Amino acid sequence: MPLLVMKFGGTSVADLARIRNAAGKVMAEVEGGHDVILIVSAMAGKTNELVRWVSDISPFYDAREYDAVVSSGENVTAGLMALTLQEMGVPARSWQGWQVPIVTTGQHGAARFIEIPREAVDRKFAEGMKVAVVAGFQGVTREGRITTLGRGGSDTTAVAFAAAFGAVRCDIYTDVDGVYTTDPRISGKARKLDRIAYEEMLELASLGAKVLQTRSVELAMRYKVPVRVLSSFTPGGSSGGTIVCDEEDIVESRVVAGIAHSREEAKMTLQGVPDRPGIAAGIFGPLAEAGVNVDMIVQNISEGGLTDMTFSCPTDQVGRAERAVSEARARGEIAFAGLVADTGVAKVSVVGIGMRSHTGVAATMFRALAGEGINIKVITTSEIKVSVLIDRKYMELAVQALHDAFGLDKAA
């Protein structure tokens, strides 16, 4: 039997009626001749509630117990889904991560897969089970402690199962009907893409397009798993949506695929840093150890042996970042005269694999922003993206202007 992996996110399983709706889509795939591994998220809002409960007990909670609590939302959905399928006459059973077992590293709250053995699930398929309902987002260490993969981790569970079981495809059902050229809530002209390359999706995902967890896209790219993102609220089968695939499988020719934005950015500047070998390592080592996700980095030209070092990170990590560099300074590992945090910025990025072979994208971008009188604070580029930091209050305007400037409302 061809094997399909299907995943339903929290809003798609928010109550029993929606679980029944999702189960109907699974049954249709079974009737179409598939065995299905079905990955489920916690019911909408559940994980947030569990996280809140843990933090209310202590802000310095034991990460292992956090995982024990926070992973439980998926267990409930998995059982309810298996029951619902059984009621519909579909042979199904649920699996918690440890039962498979989905073996992960011991980084609680951010665990990574070590292995997903197939034996137990395959044996059940051989006995006539049609749907293995697996709790997403969770795993178990070799020592037997429950782990979670980080928020949004069920996407990654789904892609990992698709890779491990050689699935024909991984269908991610969510509350939007695909990947858009930009956030439709910001630009009414946003257009759904039929296909998007792994690399573009990776950039969009890590830049704040919340459709897929970034790591799920990394895995899909590495194992060449075709992923389809589609809405669970659209009637009908698994057509439509957006396919995330290899760039060779994209016929549409376009330079820019989409505009991403990320609202909660902060710009931090260390002033008066002695400009000598090792300073970058001295600064960014402690930031990494403190778990600060540094994104853009700019070192200015130095004067009198001193330079400024600017970097960006999520706004909620500013406190942690300040502490990390201040402690490194107190230990004498680095020196700087001042630290300025600007928490009122947003990042807007233009993404597209076509940039590899087309010039002028950055120029078009800067012209469009200038046309709206938007000042650029920091610029970074990679092979397939140009990102700028701007004042947060202009973020929507910038996204709209760039969407127009690259003609993204029109199909290529």
By the criterion CB under 6 A, which residues form the site for ligand ASP? 9-10, 41-42, 47, 73, 136-137, 151-155
Minimum separation from the CB atom of position 333 to ligand ASP (A) = 36
**Contact window for Mg ion (CB under 5 A) among 11-19, 54-62, 144-152, 391-399:** 144-152
> Which residue, 229 or 378, has its beta carbon nearer to ligand ASP?
229
Minimum separation from the CB atom of position 262 to ligand ASP (A) = 18
Minimum separation from the CB atom of position 135 to ligand ASP (A) = 10
Residue 137, contacted partner among ligand ASP, Mg ion, none, CB below 5-8 A by kind: ligand ASP
Tokens linked to 29:
């795939």
Using the rule CB under 5 A, is 9 a contact of Mg ion? yes
Using the rule CB under 5 A, is 152 a contact of Mg ion? yes
Minimum separation from the CB atom of position 403 to Mg ion (A) = 24
| CA gap 192, 177 in Å, rounded | 8
Residue with tokens 């197939």: 118
| Contact indicator for 56, 69 with CB cutoff of 8 Å | no
* Neighbouring-strand partners of residue 51: none
Phi/psi for 295 (5° steps) reads -110, -80
Phi/psi for 378 (5° steps) reads -145, 145
> Which residue, 94 or 154, has its beta carbon nearer to ligand ASP?
154
Minimum separation from the CB atom of position 293 to Mg ion (A) = 18
347-351-353 Cα angle (round to 5): 155
Minimum separation from the CB atom of position 174 to Mg ion (A) = 7
Using the rule CB under 5 A, is 153 a contact of Mg ion? no
> Which residue, 264 or 391, has its beta carbon nearer to ligand ASP?
264
> Which residue, 9 or 208, has its beta carbon nearer to Mg ion?
9
> Which residue, 39 or 324, has its beta carbon nearer to Mg ion?
39
> Which residue, 136 or 258, has its beta carbon nearer to ligand ASP?
136
Tokens linked to 153:
């981790």
**Contact window for Mg ion (CB under 5 A) among 8-16, 62-70, 242-250, 329-337:** 8-16
> Which residue, 35 or 155, has its beta carbon nearer to ligand ASP?
155
Residue 42, contacted partner among Mg ion, ligand ASP, none, CB below 5-8 A by kind: ligand ASP
Residue 153, contacted partner among Mg ion, ligand ASP, none, CB below 5-8 A by kind: ligand ASP
Residue 226, contacted partner among ligand ASP, Mg ion, none, CB below 5-8 A by kind: none
Minimum separation from the CB atom of position 50 to ligand ASP (A) = 9
User: Footprint of Mg ion on this chain (CB under 5 A)?
Assistant: 9, 152
